[in-house]
Structure 1
């Protein structure tokens, strides 16, 4: 039984979360609300905002969308010029209001809050050790490990953060707000995006630059891998918590996760997707194509690029219904397929009798592609040639996105021909690994495509290790 229609249609990749922060700007909570709204695509399970009003830290959280959780009444109670916020995308196993961030720590040494995006791959080991040492966990969120680690260190608060981060492995970008400062932290490998901007006499931090545009903040730069930025009365202070750094931004940020109007590490997401689509057209042309269409929304830029490269007209062939409820019970196959039609509708007059190139950003489990190909053919498409603007996903991701098992990846189990037959396409082509790096540059993590993991996979459970061993054989 499928409870979430969006999960059925977008049976792809789930990003962990998004963070947003404001320092020394009036109405910080209101601005954070707008910033989180711009980051809503990074998480729809819950959201929260914490502020400091000069005396105490206040917080409000809820499950659902930002617009459903916050209103003028609860935002007006979040007073102050410092604020951090969070949008959450989690799993049913770790649902519940207690897991909605920012997490709040009340302590005799000073209160602080934490908002985290990413995945700590040695979380289980750290949590076991902390519990053995006496820590009592209140949530099932891996982010709580950060709070306990900070509390157990010695020195100034900045020194505590630096020592705590040194114990973490994985992908993370997080914000910490105290009664004096806000700290912005990015993992040493640069897997997760995080940038900082100027607004009036204060500063803004966001997972994506679209958060800045929402409130007219002017971007300064991206937070560097391995960097802590301390924001206080003296302005910005940069602290490197390790010298062992590398730039390996998650390639799926560009391919699928981020909004097209974001810039990540100096590269515009729309432009990068369009370039990959253009390269894909060179690598996998379709000689008898009449039109090119994209799967809304993340594939439209790549479809435009394919059209550019192939010299074939780009058309709108699929319309996404944005007003369907998030929950829809579909107990039968017929009703599930009808649910997809409610979410995604073909433009029959455009596609009827045409040889179509259907561009999508990725194939994970194959379910979505199969439904869409069937949808287009039922609407009268003469042929559907599927082109994927990323390489085939053949290895699990352990750093941040929700593809941590081989069973989630159909390309790891099927040949190109088998996958083409499964989804019902007339032809199928993926962007090459070389094409991906030509479009995005070499400073990316592409382990899910080429099995070249940029770090030692410390802290993985036995199932992960067994699957990884199978990949290498």
Structure 2
């Protein structure tokens, strides 16, 4: 995917670990793909919370890591990476709150809350002062202004007022909390590092700090880690049908992560294999070419099943940051040339299968096609390793409005002509389910949230 849609957040938490701040920063670096615009860490040393927030990528602060660790004393921590277009320092999480009953606390979340507007208006009437439009801040105010006596009780009270997709981490001087929404739309996993428990969005963040994967936090589950490093679990919300985001498998999660006890990398290769079954190559095709990096695993699966070689016909420059040039229409071509280059010697005169994971607006992909044609590629047969994206996400993914989604407004044939390829095929929704779940989609009760493909929103919008 060519930077047209973004996961908005990744979260991390660690309890009673002498290197809590350092491990948090390492883990957030591993989660950088989930949010590249800002990050933050809050630590607790039992009597006080300490914070560090930064506008930019985690790697930007590695030279200052010793000073940052000194500013973050304590053996418990939570952290957050965020994608944002606002540029406001007040949107950087974790966010702080203060209660007259239980003192300071902080929290961060991955997801999106769908009933925030009326709650926010009511809180403003109660003279709560907001510094951002981030939905996390609404939960902060709900927690701080509640009538419960403890942080945990107040946090649960706040969560019972909201609807949407979320995985929260929270902290005060006494406890670290992790919680997943009752539908389990966004991921959250539990790990262990020696005697410390770890909470994070993906298992790749466990790997970087040498933590052991324990299990996934269940939909609707809330876990607490107390001062004696004791883990407790509860289910304080009414049970709902599980609706994990299927697009995590297609694009958002890192390929070296594990979800639902399955390798993301293996699933993406299987997606490619099924795509080759559903849309086999023509006899004159010379090679399979992925759009890096997200198209590579599916291209491996497609090439292996079809008996074609896979070649790196497009080379990606990994040193171009997202903030170097803003994603405006006027500079799309410059962005493409900065980020990608055609491997002309490999591509010249060839008929290729081009693999990408999805099409959102289509404009950026169109510029890739122009680049390939300039490299004298003879034929381009585009295969997309997901169904057409026809609907916006309201559960924590930054997608365009439906009017800007090309598949919501154009047929496959029309998209083919607009992008400028010789043929175009998408993976079917049943093909995606076969790769992920090893069964077809249950149309009466879908096993996953696939609203971006089908418009079937499990918890409203």
TM-score range relative to shorter protein: over 0.9
What pairs with 1:156-235 in structure 2 (closer than 5 Å)? 156-232=150-226, 233=228, 235=230
Shift of 1:251: 1.5
Distance 2:424 2:328 in 1: 31
Unpaired segments ≥5 residues, structure 1? 1-8, 458-473
1:33 is aligned to 25
Query: In structure 1, which of residues 363, 368, 371 is the aligned counterpart of residue 367 of structure 2?
Result: 371
Contact 2:249 2:267 in 1 (8 A): yes
Q: Which deviates more, 108-117 or 356-365? A: 108-117
> For 1:71-220, what aligned pairs fall within 5 Å after superposition?
71=64, 72-92=66-86, 95-108=87-100, 109-153=102-146, 154-220=148-214
> Which shows bigger deviation, 300-309 or 32-41?
300-309
Q: Decide whether the 8 Å contact of 2:225 with 2:232 is kept in 1.
A: yes
Find out whether 1:242 has 2:242 as its counterpart. Answer: no
Deviation at 1:331, TM superposition (A): 9.0
Structure 1 Cα separation of the partners of residues 332 and 149 of structure 2: 57
- Number of aligned residues: 446
1:63·1:69 contact (CA, 8 Å) conserved in 2? Answer: no
Distance 1:30 1:238, change over 3 A: same
Q: Contact 1:165–1:241 (CA<8 Å) still a contact in 2?
A: no
State the secondary structure of the residue aligned to 2:170: strand
For the residues of structure 2 that align with 1:168 and 1:339, how far apart are their CA atoms?
Answer: 39
Q: Structure 1 residue 436: deviation in Å?
A: 0.9
**Corresponding residue number in structure 1 for 2:444:** none
Question: How far off is 1:76 after superposition?
Answer: 1.9
Indicate whether 1:258 and 2:258 are aligned. Answer: no
Q: Residue 111 of structure 1 aligns to a residue in which SS?
A: strand
The 1:336–1:120 alpha-carbon spacing in structure 2 relative to 1, beyond 3 Å, is: closer
* The one of 428, 432, 436 aligned to 1:436: 432
SS in 2 for 1:327: coil
Match in the other structure for 1:445: 449
Q: Structure 2-normalised TM-score?
A: 0.93
Q: Aligned equivalents of 1:61 and 1:378: distance in 2? A: 44
Instruction: Please say if 1:456 is aligned against 2:460.
Output: yes
d(CA) in 2 for partners of 1:117, 1:254? 17
The superposition leaves residues 442-467 of structure 1 with CA deviations (integer Å, 9 ceiling, x where unpaired) of: 5321111112211233xxxxxxxxxx
SS at match of 2:397: coil
- Single out whichever of 137-146 and 41-50 deviates more from structure 2: 137-146
Note if contact 2:5-2:400 (Cα within 8 Å) is conserved in structure 1: no
1-structure distance, mates of 2:167, 2:242? 14
- Give 1:158 shift: 2.1
Cα pair distance change 1:174/1:354, threshold 3 Å? same
Structure-2 separation of matches of 1:254 and 1:324: 25
Moved over 4 A (4+): 329-333
CA 156–256 in structure 1, closer or farther in 2 if over 3 Å, else same: same
Partners of 2:329 and 2:390 lie apart in 1 by: 30
Partners of 1:27 and 1:348 in 2: CA distance: 48
| TM-score, scaled relative to structure 1 | 0.91
Q: Could you list the runs of 5+ residues in structure 2 that have no partner in the other structure?
A: 442-446
* Equivalent residue, structure 2, for 1:286: 281
Residue equivalent to 2:55? 63
